[in-house]
């Protein structure tokens, strides 16, 4: 075997750099799940009755469900009684401002490169920071409020805007949707809430940063974003977790409601949960339900994701295109290295007339990583003139990894148009040698080729995030070659 | 500059090079000719550091250093350039970006400051004239969808930008039409300096009408069986390789 092949096989040595834990006083409940636990969570959060009722319905429904097994992912059975369902950094008192956040927590976010100090902030990004299950700080809320924008933790939203929460919670992802969505509905402890009123373009990127800190906690957060007529918001989500030997479950739910005419929601994720070590020990199970509903005429929802972390990723950000002329987009880069498994893709459900959707999926597999694209394009009977374009490309590094594509297409209206393109390529030794011969190291060559491969997706990310994503990909691939 | 002594190399059990001796001094142009499969590209690949070949004997000194001991990217940064017989396509990687990265690697290695985008473009503009290269090519991914001739011309363009000390051109003339051949040859000639050298692999004496070699070597069955001047190429053209080969076997 030539050394180039060997080096490509080595594709995996870089340590996960966010693998530290923070010592903060944590308020957590005993492991296990029962109706009492659901009640306890609701009580701890001082929730109104409608919330508790909803949680209990979800819990009871969850009990009747079984864990899905159809996805192309292998993992030992999860013991749902061993997980802790509520853990929160213990506040010394009720938080009045950012100054009162535990300095250890602030330090954590500094280490992650996310400053919660408004003075030192990245210009134009408002951040909601979620540690374990609880939102610890939301920046810029006051400034945004001047324009009528609500951006706060889910807990705050339940207290301050219960009518909005009650109206839209579960309207896109009902608790009956799937096993993990039901579990989330029963036990979710926090997340972010965002509401953009009519005609308002949100002047800055809104961002949530998720961090799992406590051992054996599942993180179940919920994000709900509602955009009224003509409203626009761009929302970013980032995630990291400490290195641990045990797997931790992350089962979030994100609901987007593009309510009014010409409303637009752009949701970008850079997912960098701990992927586990080289041998597949530890890492996050990322079983997430993300869905948007384009209700308004000519409304638009756009998902962009860069998935580099987690031991197992299982997620299908979807768009229900209900309003006429509405538009759904899905841009995805998913990288699997070592023993990582990703089964990701999207669903575009065309209901309204002249609805359009675009899917661009880029899967990169290295090491022994397994990467599956699973997508559904469904054109309903009344979706006259609906159009979809899908493109799924896979890039393989080395010969122990795998790429799989499962496109499902269901068309019930003959005037619609569905196009699907797919390709699989390999980084060839002669490509690497060509770069070497021009003075470019193997690692740089791989990064260059991978970044080139992902270009169409990176283009969709907000500027700072695009740079971040490129670096992240570089780090995730470090040691994979040479 | 380059000293190859008794170089034996092959792939797995197959012996390809069977004792190459060749010395190249600064300012010289050497042509290597020889029938298909005689080992010309193999020699070029080994000098450039391609994986997969086993060197079983001999050594190669480059400016006094053991060339075979260096990683391919280090050789490149030290000024060894290979214009590929079959340049590969690198989808998604912009040509300009690629070449800028390459030039900056060479500059870093020499301890020179890296060029920013503006400075780099100035260099590119100047070199592009030299080869009458279509500017649009540089906006496209490396070699992707380039015609055969465009790929070859792009190789020499890269050479012009990187200014190597030792340039190895592997059949750069094949696939070029006559006008392109003249342009490329003129470009190569302009890049010639007293302190650099060129090793030109070709099948056709035609190229040597434009790039005048100081020496012509005939490679046959992994060995240099004849060395001469430009006239040797003419003679070969006239009489074919059989003439030398017979000569060789008779002489041996
Ligand atoms: N990687 C390899 N594996 C097996 N055989 C090889 C390999 N590389 C070269 N060879 C063999 O070595 C011999 C020399 O090949 P090389 O490409 O060096 O010839 P060449 O002189 O450049 O020929 P041409 O004029 O056709 O370009 C050929 O018989 C070829 O098949
Ligand atoms: Mg050859």
Q: pLDDT per residue over A184-195, tens digit each? A: 999 887 788 999
**A429, A442, B79 from A436: Cα distances, Å:** 10, 6, 12
With beta carbons under 8 A apart, name residues in chain B contacting A437. Answer: 48-49, 72-73, 75-76, 81-82, 84
Q: Calculate how close chain B gets to A216, using CA atoms only, in Å.
A: 42
DSSP-derived letter for residue B188 is H
pLDDT score for A280: 64
- Three-state DSSP state, A396: strand
Per-residue pLDDT for A473 more than 60?
yes
Q: Which residues of A touch B49 (CB under 8 A)?
A: 436-437
The reply to whether A412 touches chain B by the CB within 8 Å rule is: no
Cα gap B84→B87, rounded to integer Å: 5
Q: Note whether A444 contacts B101, CB cutoff 8 Å.
A: yes
Q: Which residues pair with A22 in a beta bridge?
A: none
Phi, psi (deg, nearest 5) at residue A233: -145, 140
Q: How far apart are CA A253 and CA A189, in angstroms?
A: 12
Residue range A158-215, pLDDT digits in tens:
999 999 999 999 999 999 998 889 999 998 877 889 999 999 998 877 877 666 555 5
**Tokens 């060894």 map to which residue?**
B80
Going through B1-105 in order, the beta strands assigned E by DSSP cover 2-11, 14-24, 29-33, 54-62, 65-66, 80-83, 90-94
Q: Which residue has better confidence, A9 or A447?
A: A447
pLDDT at A92 over 60: no
- Tell me the per-residue pLDDT of A128-150, one tens digit each, with 9 for 90 and over: 666 655 555 566 677 788 889 99
Query: How close is the nearest chain B Cα to the Cα of A15, in Å?
Result: 25
> Cβ of B107 under 8 Å from any chain A Cβ?
no
Q: Hey, which residues does A196 pair with through a beta bridge?
A: A227
The finding on whether B11 has its CB within 6 A of some atom of ligand 1 is yes
The answer for residues whose C-beta is within 8 angstroms of residue A342's C-beta and 6 or more apart is A307, A310, A312, A313, A314, A334, A335, A336, A363, A369, A370, A371, A372
- Contacts (Cβ under 8 Å, ≥6 apart) of B145: B89
Other Cβ atoms less than 10 A from the Cβ of A156: the count is: 18
CA A431: distance to chain centroid?
A: 33
How far away, in angstroms, is B224 Cα from ligand 1 center? Answer: 16
Residue B126 CB coordination number (10 Å): 11
**Best mutation site among B12, B14, B51 for ligand 1, i.e. most ligand atoms within 8 A of its Cβ?**
B14
| pLDDT at residue A105 in the model | 57
Residue A67 tokens, joined: 């864990």
Residue nearest to atom 1 of ligand 1 (CA): B11
Q: Which two tokens stand for residue A424?
A: 């699989």
Q: Count of CB atoms within 10 A of residue A199's CB?
A: 15
Q: Is the CB of B41 under 6 A from ligand 1?
A: yes
Probe site for chain B from A5, A395, A427, A439 (most B CB atoms < 10 A): A439
Q: Which residue of A has its CA nearest to B49?
A: A437
Beta bridge partners of residue A131, listed in sequence order:
A134, A211
pTM: 0.78
Return the ligand 1 atom nearest residue B85 CA: 27
DSSP per-residue letters across A273-285: -----TTS-SEEE
* End-to-end CA, chain A: 15
| Helix, strand, coil distribution of chain B in percent, nearest 5 | 45, 30, 30
Q: Which residues of chain B carry a pLDDT beneath 70?
A: 247-252
């Amino acid at each position: 075997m030539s050394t180039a092949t060997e080096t490509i096989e080595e594709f995996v040595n870089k340590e996960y750099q966010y693998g530290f834990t923070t010592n903060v006083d944590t308020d957590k409940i005993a492991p296990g799940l029962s109706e009492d636990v659901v009640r306890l969570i609701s009580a701890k959060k001082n929730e109104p009755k409608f919330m508790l009722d909803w949680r209990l319905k979800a819990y009871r429904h969850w009990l009747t469900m079984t864990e899905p097994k159809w996805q192309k992912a292998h993992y030992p059975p999860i013991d749902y009684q061993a997980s802790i369902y509520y853990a929160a950094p213990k506040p010394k008192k009720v938080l009045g401002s950012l100054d009162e956040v535990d300095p250890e927590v602030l330090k954590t976010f500094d280490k992650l490169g996310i400053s919660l100090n408004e003075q030192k902030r990245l210009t134009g990004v408002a951040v909601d920071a979620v540690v374990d299950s609880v939102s610890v700080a939301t920046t810029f809320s006051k400034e945004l409020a001047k324009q009528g924008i609500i951006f706060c933790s889910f807990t705050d939203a339940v207290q301050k805007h219960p009518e909005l929460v009650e109206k839209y919670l579960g309207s896109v992802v009902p608790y009956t949707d799937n096993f993990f969505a039901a579990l989330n509905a029963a036990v979710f402890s926090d997340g972010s809430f965002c509401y953009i009123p009519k005609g308002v373009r949100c002047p800055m990127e809104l961002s949530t940063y998720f961090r799992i800190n406590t051992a054996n906690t599942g993180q179940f957060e919920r994000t709900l974003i509602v955009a009224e007529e003509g409203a626009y918001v761009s929302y970013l989500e980032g995630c990291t977790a400490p290195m641990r030997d045990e797997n931790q479950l992350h089962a979030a739910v994100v609901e987007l409601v593009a309510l009014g005419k010409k409303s637009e929601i752009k949701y970008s994720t850079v997912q960098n949960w701990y992927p586990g070590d080289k041998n597949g020990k530890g890492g996050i199970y990322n079983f997430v339900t993300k869905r948007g509903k384009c209700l308004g005429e000519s409304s638009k929802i756009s998902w962009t994701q860069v998935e580099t972390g987690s031991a197992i990723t299982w997620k299908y950000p979807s768009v229900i295109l209900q309003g006429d002329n509405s538009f759904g987009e899905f841009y995805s880069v998913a990288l699997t290295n070592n023993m990582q498994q990703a089964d990701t893709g999207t669903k575009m459900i065309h209901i309204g007339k002249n609805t359009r959707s675009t899917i661009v999926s880029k899967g990169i597999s290295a090491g022994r990583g397994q990467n599956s694209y699973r997508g559904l394009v469904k054109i309903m009977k009344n979706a006259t003139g609906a159009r979809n374009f899908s493109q799924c490309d896979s890039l393989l590094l080395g010969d122990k990894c795998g790429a799989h594509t499962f496109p499902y297409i269901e068309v019930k209206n003959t005037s619609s148009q569905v196009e699907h393109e797919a390709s699989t390529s390999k980084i060839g030794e002669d490509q690497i040698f060509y770069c070497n011969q021009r003075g470019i190291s193997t690692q740089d060559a791989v990064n260059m080729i991978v970044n080139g491969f992902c270009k169409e997706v990176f283009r969709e990310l907000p500027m700072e995030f695009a740079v971040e994503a490129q670096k992240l990909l570089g780090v995730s691939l470090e040691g994979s070659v040479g | 500059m380059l000293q190859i002594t008794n170089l034996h190399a092959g792939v797995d059990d197959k012996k390809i090079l069977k004792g190459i001796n060749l010395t190249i001094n600064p300012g010289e142009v050497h042509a290597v000719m020889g029938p298909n499969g005689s080992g010309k590209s193999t020699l070029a690949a080994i000098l450039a550091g391609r994986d997969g070949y086993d060197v079983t004997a001999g050594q190669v000194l480059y400016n006094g250093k053991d060339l075979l001991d260096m990683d391919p990217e280090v050789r490149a940064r030290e000024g060894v350039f290979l214009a590929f017989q079959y340049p590969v396509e690198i989808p998604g990687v912009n040509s300009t970006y690629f070449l800028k990265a390459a030039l900056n690697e060479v500059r870093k290695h020499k301890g020179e400051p890296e060029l920013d985008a503006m400075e780099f473009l100035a260099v590119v503009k100047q070199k592009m004239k030299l080869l009458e290269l279509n500017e649009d090519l540089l906006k496209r991914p490396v070699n992707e969808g380039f015609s055969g001739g465009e790929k070859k011309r792009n190789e020499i363009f890269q050479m012009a930008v990187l200014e190597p000390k030792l340039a190895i051109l592997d059949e750069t003339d094949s696939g070029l039409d006559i006008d392109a051949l003249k342009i490329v040859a003129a470009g190569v000639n302009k890049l010639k300096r007293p302190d650099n050298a060129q090793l030109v692999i070709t099948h056709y004496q035609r190229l040597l009408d434009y790039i005048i070699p100081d020496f012509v070597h005939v490679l046959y069955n992994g060995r240099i069986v004849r060395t001469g001047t430009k006239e040797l190429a003419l003679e070969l053209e006239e009489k074919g390789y059989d003439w030398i080969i017979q000569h060789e076997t008779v002489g041996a």
